Chains A and B, each alone.
Chain A
Amino acid sequence: MSAISELTSLRRTRAKTADERRQQRKENGRDNKAGYLFLLPWLIGLVVITIGPMCASLYLSFTDYNLLQPPKWAGLANFQQMLHDERLHQSLKVTFIYVFVGVPLQLALALAIAILLDKGMKGLSFYRSIFYLPSMLGGSVAIAVLWRQIFGTDGLVNQVLRLIGIDSHTGWVSDPRYALGTIIILHIWTFGSPMVIFLAGLRQIPVMYYEAAAVDGASRWSRFSKITMPLLSPIVFFNLVLQIIGAFQSFTQAFVVSGGSGGPSDSTLFYTLYLYNRGFANLQMGYASAMAWLLLVIIGGFTAINFFVSKYWVFYDD
């Protein structure tokens, strides 16, 4: 059970008769004191580190605050300013392109490789480690540094191109046309962790389904579309939701590759990078909070749409 299907099932089992609910409440109340004692660290964290700051950030989003003077109430000024902030629009554009191009490509590759690495194949664990390694290292500054060199003017990509006869002097990371593309490639390169989840999901599909299909003479494609995809759909859904949420929050790669500025010409100005610059470089904490809430609304909206649409293509066989 993944966190996501757990949420779905919690939602589904809510409807109960009044009697059942009373029974359950009685049952539930058995370990009240112990339950809250064990939960105490988490509860404190929830209040002090999460919910409290969330409320504060909602309040700050309606203020002008630079850390030095007390917050000044500004009403909707921050949100109005956001409507006219060209760099904010640019950062949204960059982030949306990254999410809509990077996530599907990464998941498609993860699924393709996972299916290629089928059960009982020779060298499975070797291949799995090789493909998984980049996703463990990919978020680090060291890899972002490497990326900057690879796609630089004297970088590995141009060296290889010269080797095959193309005399390229393009600085891929310094050219606004390609800079975002290189970060998307970095994202796709880290397909290992969704791949591992797909592999685990594929293992759950009973072999007898395929055996039955083989007896019926089903083609490779119809076995994939009629057995693999439907039974794998909850896992595709899980990966999709988590990857979208994660991709909207990408920061490190863009920060390092662009030298912290989101350049060249704001072509890699990711939303969170702009938020960081506004809040922690320019000390506009009110504006940064307003931006954070817009991000939450966008991510929440995407997740809600995902859950809604999932009813039509995700199958739970219980």
Chain B
Amino acid sequence: MTSTIAPTPTTREPAGTPRTTPGRGGRTASRIRSVIKHILLIACSLLMIYPLLWMLISSFRPTNTIFRTPGLWLRDATLANYGHGWHALSPTFGHYLINSGIVVLGAIIGNVMSCSLAAYAFARLKFRGRTLWFTIMLLSIMLPIHVVVVPQYIIFNNLGWVNTFVPLILPKFLATDAFFVFLAVQFIRGIPKDLDEAARIDGCGHWGIFSRVILPLMVPAIATTVIFTFIWTWGDFFTALIYLTSPDKYTTPIALRQFLDATSGSDWGAMFAMSIVSLLPVFLIFLFGQRYLIKGIATTGIK
């Protein structure tokens, strides 16, 4: 394949040298380099993925063999860990998955609604103080939550909302994940303004332009928001740890941690099985949403 592309018309070769030798030599060298590169990358990938694969396979092994098998081969496969892990805590693990599902669903709806509204204002509307608010929004992306978490806890506590899902969901409806506001602003800026003008001529107000023109065109940005919100909220440990106090309200990460304490880390088989169960939704989202994930990470990083 390379031989058909290699000699370009502009390549200058010193007169008198045998025509083929330097070209072919260079080609062999670059092929060797490419092989080395791939070997290096495959070795790295293997190292990266090895712990995950090992955990997956260990989850099908009887617990007492986990400690003796560093390899990835699987003899005596068993589903016992899954059954055992599922019922180890009361309520069963399915309950925690449902709790996590409720919180994630609320967070997604909240983030999509509030962040796209704010983004439309920043990207398209000219109002007094816009630059100031925009700067504050950008700065808030970098604010550590620890500075606000104590008073937030006190507020939610006084309202009687501790040990409910409200503290985990309500902030999302108020666009506190400013990362997504910025993401959507970037996206809306790329939509031609002519479309807004056309809609305005057709008699649309700002709400009409937003809901009928911008929102339908924003689907890729919304997909990114949904996927990132899913992954981050599903894995969120800190807020859940603070606000959820009774086991029937626990989300998956807290339940998993509880598990570690309850079995004091001896039942690794069941532990791994439930870890796999808790990672599965994230992994599936990763698999199918990768295009959006990469675009989302990349667009907020590009100058």
Contacts and interface: CB of A to CB of B under 8 A. Distances in A.
Interface of A: 1-3, 5-7, 10, 25, 27-32, 34-36, 38-46, 48-50, 52-54, 56-57, 60, 67, 113, 116-117, 122-123, 127-134, 136-137, 139-143, 145-146, 148-150, 152, 154, 156, 159-160, 163, 189, 193, 196-197, 199-201, 204, 234-235, 238-239, 241-242, 245, 248-249, 251-252, 255-256, 259, 272, 275-276, 279-280, 285, 288-289, 291-293, 295-296, 299, 303, 316
Contacts of A40: 117
Contact of A141 (B125, B237, B299): B237
B210 interface: yes
27 contacts: A5-B303, A29-B127, A32-B127, A34-B127, A36-B127, A38-B118, A49-B174, A67-B154, A117-B41, A136-B293, A139-B237, A143-B279, A148-B260, A148-B265, A149-B271, A154-B67, A234-B303, A238-B303, A249-B145, A256-B237, A256-B257, A259-B260, A279-B149, A292-B144, A295-B144, A296-B144, A316-B303
B180 to A, nearest CB: 11
A2 B302 contact: yes
Given A38-B118, A139-B235, A60 B151 contact: yes
Contacts of A238: 301, 303
B15 interface: no
B143 interface: yes
Please report whether the interface of chain A is mostly helix, strand, loop or mixed according to DSSP. helix
A295 B253 CA distance: 26
Nearest to B54: A156
A41 B265 contact: no
B282 to A, nearest CB: 6
B218 to A, nearest CB: 14
B70 interface: yes
A127 B145 contact: no
A238 B242 CA distance: 31
Contacts of A134: 48, 52
A1 B182 CA distance: 10
Contacts of A45: 114, 171, 174-176
Interface string B262-300: 000100100110111011001100100010011001111
A156 B51 contact: yes
Given A128-B294, A159-B69, A145 B275 contact: yes
B205 to A, nearest CB: 8
B120 A38 contact: yes
A2 B300 contact: yes
B71 to A, nearest CB: 9
Interface stretch (B76-84, B87-95, B129-137): B129-137
